Structures are given as structure tokens and as C-alpha cells.
Structure 1
Amino acid sequence: MDTPLDYSNIKKLKVELTRFMMAYKFALEEVNTKINILQQEFQYMHDYNPIEHVKSRVKSPESIMKKVQKKDLPFDLATIREHIHDIAGIRINCSFVSDIYRIADMLEQQKDITVIQKKDYIKNPKPNGYKSLHLIIQIPIFMSDRVENVFTEIQIRTIAMDFWASLEHKIYYKYNKVIPEPLQKELKDAALSANELDEKMERIHKEVNKIKAADTLDQHSDQVVFPPEILSIIAETKDH
């Protein structure tokens, strides 16, 4: 005889799973709001926006399950919450390498963000040539009956780094995670080329900023404002 289903337990599990996934969705919304504020501030106050593009996602239940199996974890929501930190993920693309560290610093300084882990694959690239700055943060999410500190992964990279990573990812899965050695070399060479491009664009960016600063200084020097007593002396000199 079949055991009758316990619908109360099924309903409870559904509520817990919904809460679990919603927490990560809300975490992304919180961080995206912070990034959007920074974008608008730079646009209106500094006449320059270091953030080119932002993309976010919450892992699907299937992807979470694969990671649980890979890490050999029990299927328990509390354990998953504690040990899998990239369920919520945000990728920020910047124009220049200096912008990456600038954005990271501004996010790290926000009082409700706690940085749990920081991996700098720009200063220390992966063997295959991968470059990016990774932050694992915790951010509080205020629910109706609780406050949850939710892990979120933030990846910050240049457009060139992102293009390379996207290409490598496609090739990696096309060859079922075993890339032929000649292609590995080609990818490593491409990573070096992307790095050279980033360095060249950074140099151009610095030169443009120097020229802009010099032009601003010249404009101000043409608009010297003298105090009234000096103006009266100049007027008297002109009369004579």
C-alpha cells in the first residue's frame, strides 16, 4: 500500500524554497541599485562614467544542484546558503583597469556591504590567462519577518577581459572542458593581446586626462579675479 503524501510538508518545503530563491533575487536588486546610483552620480557630477555594462543573474535550481553535487554537500538549504557563495552573481564591465579598482573600493566602503573574500586575478591571472577581480560580499536583505545576510559574487573586469572570458567559456564547453593544447596556446596568446590592449588604452586615458587638466588650468588662469583694493590701484595706474 502506498504511503499517503504529506501535503503540509510539501507546502512547507515549497515556501522555504521560494524564500531561499527570493533572497538572492532581492540581494541582486539591492546591489544593482547601488551600482545604478554610482553610475548616475558619475554621469551627472563627474562627467565620466567608469561603468560600461552591468549584468546579473541568479543560478537556476539545476545549476545549484550541480554545484551541490560537485562540492559533495548535503541537500540542505542552510548548508547550501553557507557554502555556495555565487548563487547571486553580478558582472561589471569597465573601460579601464584603474576603473575596476575604483569601483571595487567604492563598493567595499559602503557600510551595509561586508567583503568576505577578494580574489585579484588581474595582478595574479589564472594559468589559462583569465583576468578579473572577484568579490564575495554579504548584504542584508530585510524580509517581513527576518533579516538575511545574503552572499553575492561580484566580478569586475574590462571589456577586453570580458570578451576573452566569454570566448574561452564557449570553447571550454564546446570541447567538454578539455581544450586541445594548440587552442590553449592560442587562448593564452589572445589573453596577452587583450592585456596589451588594456595597457595601451590606460596610457591613452591618462594622457587625455593630463591634457584635459591642463586645458582647465589655462581656462581658469584667463579668468583671474582680483580683490577690490587691487582693482582700484590698477584703475589709478591707468588714469595716470
Structure 2
Amino acid sequence: MDDSKYIMQDGIDDWETVMFLYNSALKEVGTKLEILNDEFVHIHKYNPIEYIKRRIKSPESIVKKLKRGGYESTIENMIDHCNDIAGIRVVCSFNSDIYRLAEMIGAQNDLTVVSVKDYIKHPKDSGYKSYHMLVTVPIFLSDRVINTKVEIQIRTIAMDFWATLEHKIYYKFEGDAPDYISRDLRTCAAIVSDLDEKMLQLNQAIMEAKQETEE
């Protein structure tokens, strides 16, 4: 059954309760990611996650998104058509960390992966790169269990730097930036990709050199 319909049929149809669920889901997924990172450090002496950012979409942003999609501003539409109300951004050092972490998240038996969008292998026209996973996590209340959606974005430090500045630039132009701005941003996105690749190669070279020294 569709998660949104499950929420609505379960009598959870007021704004405060729905936002409580999204906040709870954010805490659950954030804790899982921290534990996965700690376990990786414990076993491999290496942390794939540099830092984690969590956020709940503001009411204004939710309404704007619904209007862009041609939907009325109702709680049901919000749950149905806004998959990024609860969002977690996971920032890694290298591209390889992204796919390793995505695999670890997918293996969690109490998370359900609803969809995956790989904007690293298939970047957006703007040059945007990131790995998106839409998951549901069960929120255990006193009298029921509610599956709630969380969007996880996984990217490198360089990708996050580019995406953050791109968002600020387009916000200033209200989404209608001049052509030369968009062109320069795409050029910068290519530079970021080259940087990520070179840093990954450098890290691999360092690891190989270290292994040879230990032998």
C-alpha cells in the first residue's frame, strides 16, 4: 500500500502530527547512518562519512513545490507528492564511498528503498551530481507503526560545495539565471568531477604505497 495512503487511513491527517513523523524518521535514519559509519571505522579504521546534514522542508517550500506541480496545498498532496520533506545529506570524501555507503544503506532490513536516482552516472543538465535514495523507515508509536519517507542524498565534498553555491546563485535569480551563469556553472561542475577523480586516484596511490611499505 502507498505510504501516504497508509498515513491518511491511520487517522494521521493533521500538520503537527505529520511533521512529528517526518522529524522522527529523520532521527531514525540519521542514527542508522552514524552507526554504520562507526562500525566501518571499527572494522576498517576508515570513515566513509565526513559529515551529515539533516533538514525538514519549510512549510513555504512545501507549498511552492506543490504549486509548481499543479497540486492543491493539502496534507494528502504533501505526503503523496513531496518526497523530500525529510532530507538527509551525507557527504563523503570519495566517489567510491558513495556507492559503498548506498549498498550498506540498502542492506538495512528495517529500511525500505523506494527509489534510487543516480545523478553521478547521469548528471542533471545543470551539472548537478549526487546519489539520491528515497527510503521509508518504520516509526513505532505507542499504538501503531507508521512507515515514513526520508530522502537521502549522498555526495562528495566537492559535489556538495558546487551544489550549495549553485542553489544560492539560482535563488538570487529566482531560478531564472542568465545563460552565461548556467554555462559557467556547468564548466565548474566538470572541474569538480575532474577534482573528485584525481583525489580518488591520489588516495588509491597513497593506500598502495602504504601497503608496500608495510610489506
TM above 0.5, yes or no, is yes
Show the counterpart of 1:56: 54
Show the counterpart of 2:174: 176
* Distance of 1:145 and 1:17 partners within structure 2: 19
For residue 128 of structure 1, the aligned residue among 114, 126, 129 is: 126
* Distance of 1:141 and 1:211 partners within structure 2: 46
Matched residue type, 1:152: V
Show the counterpart of 1:153: 151
Matched residue type, 1:67: K
Show the counterpart of 1:193: 191
* Distance of 1:178 and 1:81 partners within structure 2: 28
Matched residue type, 1:76: T
Residues 15 and 133 (structure 1), Cα distance of their counterparts in 2 relative to 1, 3 Å cut: closer
Show the counterpart of 1:117: 115
2:15 equivalent to 1:23? no
Calculate the TM-score normalised by the size of structure 2.
Answer: 0.90
Residues 14 and 117 (structure 1), Cα distance of their counterparts in 2 relative to 1, 3 Å cut: closer
State the aligned residue count.
205
Show the counterpart of 2:200: 202
Cα RMSD of the aligned pairs, angstroms, is: 1.8
* Distance of 2:64 and 2:174 partners within structure 1: 16
Q: Which runs of 5+ in 1 are unaligned?
A: 1-12, 219-240
* Distance of 2:49 and 2:176 partners within structure 1: 34
Show the counterpart of 1:98: 96
Map 1:49-88 → 2, pairs under 5 A: 49-88=47-86
| TM superposition shift of 1:14 | 11
* Distance of 1:18 and 1:175 partners within structure 2: 33
Calculate the TM-score normalised by the size of structure 1.
Answer: 0.81
| TM superposition shift of 1:151 | 0.9
Residues 149 and 14 (structure 1), Cα distance of their counterparts in 2 relative to 1, 3 Å cut: closer
* Distance of 1:132 and 1:117 partners within structure 2: 14
Select the structure of larger CA radius of gyration: 1
Deviations 1:12-63 (A, max 9, x none): x998222110000000000010111022222333211110010011112222
The residue matched to 1:48 in structure 2 has which SS? Answer: coil
The residue matched to 1:138 in structure 2 has which SS? Answer: strand
* Distance of 1:184 and 1:70 partners within structure 2: 21
Matched residue type, 1:69: K
Show the counterpart of 2:40: 42
The residue matched to 1:31 in structure 2 has which SS? Answer: helix
Show the counterpart of 2:138: 140
* Distance of 2:12 and 2:81 partners within structure 1: 21
Deviations 1:132-170 (A, max 9, x none): 001111111111122111111010000011111111111
* Distance of 1:163 and 1:64 partners within structure 2: 24
| TM superposition shift of 1:74 | 3.5
* Distance of 1:84 and 1:128 partners within structure 2: 22
* Distance of 1:68 and 1:158 partners within structure 2: 29
* Distance of 1:182 and 1:74 partners within structure 2: 35
